[in-house]
Structure 1
Amino acid sequence: MQISFYVLGERYMKHDATAASTVSAVNAEAVLNFVCRLTQTVLNKSEHSLVIIDDQTDRLRELDEQLWSFDATSFIPHTLISDDHDDQVTADKLSAPVTLLSSLPQSFDGVVLNLAPTALPLSKSGTLPERVLEIITPDEVSKQQGRDKYRAYRDLGFELIYYPIN
């Protein structure tokens, strides 16, 4: 299985004009736009369904809204499954090509875009996704989380690929 790390560059940061040379926060809208573009690419290039995992339910809701209006010339069919249903979700119950939820469905073998701060709980003895996509934003917290994820996946023996996005 392949794990792809998309490492976003400085243009995905908000620069605070009032502070001389400090960088404030990640530009959440720019990151969500990148997630939408990546989602569209996965749908166009893969026959597998896509699950987007995030432990931040507010960000999942924002992504849900953004996916409906992201591109006026194409539609990204998706569904948002709320937290109260996550523990019951299995791969055979996913109905849309793209599903947004807070944990990996049991026995899912498609593509996973992981926005959560930790590596997915994968084991080579169970059903594995076709591919995992990890997005690392340019802030120090996300970079450290990315390093931790990288080590966790490497220690499991997965193929790791790095894509710098400027």
Structure 2
Amino acid sequence: MAKEIERKFLVHPRKWSDLGAGLVIRQGYLCASKQSSVRVRTYGDKAYVTIKGATADIARDEYEYEIPLKDANEILVNLSEHPPIEKMRYRIVFKGHTWEVDEFTGANRGLTVAEVELKDAKEQVELPDWIDREVSGDPRYFNSNLSIKPFSSWK
């Protein structure tokens, strides 16, 4: 069984910039509940379907499979429960960990989130100075929830 263990953080606006080109991501959810989610994502010229289980602390089951890009684009347009999320992803290596920094566009514009995957939930990670605060336990920041209630609609 595949396991995803990650921590999520808000990022100080553009304190981390000047990284060069990022990669455009579009993703939509076919279903999303507390128990599981199924999403389709385009990531540059690749596409994936991902099935995730319920989050327990900072870990959850995850299964991901590559699918044809054409199929993914059709699914995003025709089958997503809500409009797809769009973001630019940057990868930053810092102190032995690769951080994925997502700068959201569209209805989630203004939100920048960094995630770091870990081998173990107790693994220590040194935080870069561009990290603001941790939001791993706040479900509002789950991508599946951002597709339902975008950042721009928060009060």
TM-score by length of 2: 0.26
Please state which structure has a larger fraction of its residues in helix. Answer: 1
* Higher relative contact order structure (alpha carbons within 8 Å, sequence separation ≥ 6): 1
Larger Cα-atom Rg? 1
TM-score by length of 1: 0.25
